Amino acid sequence: MTAKWDQLNLRHLRAVAAVAACGALSRAAARVHLSQPALTQGIAKIEAQLGTALFERHSAGMRAAEAGQLLAARVEAMLTALREATD
């Protein structure tokens, strides 16, 4: 992954973690308070920035690819650290 990390959108990163956890765009959109189209665009933008697919799309939902699993875990760790720092 060769993206410029300072150009990634925090809201879109949260969306990646939500989709990985929920396995479906509609549930993830509700979880992160985005519309489904906005969530779809955010995921596509991050995938373009990173140059890799983060999810495998299926009729029953989305499953995180290896890169998606790694990124989602890192995003969750980052969000936990941010929460702890602000408590």
**Which residues have a Cβ under 8 Å from the Cβ of 49 and sit 6 or more positions away?**
3, 4, 7, 8
pTM: 0.86
3-class state of residue 80 by DSSP:
helix
pLDDT (tens digit, 0 to 9) for every residue of the chain, 87 residues total? 455 677 888 999 999 999 999 999 999 999 999 999 999 999 999 999 999 999 999 888 899 999 999 999 999 999 999 999 998
Number of C-beta neighbours around residue 67 at 10 A: 17
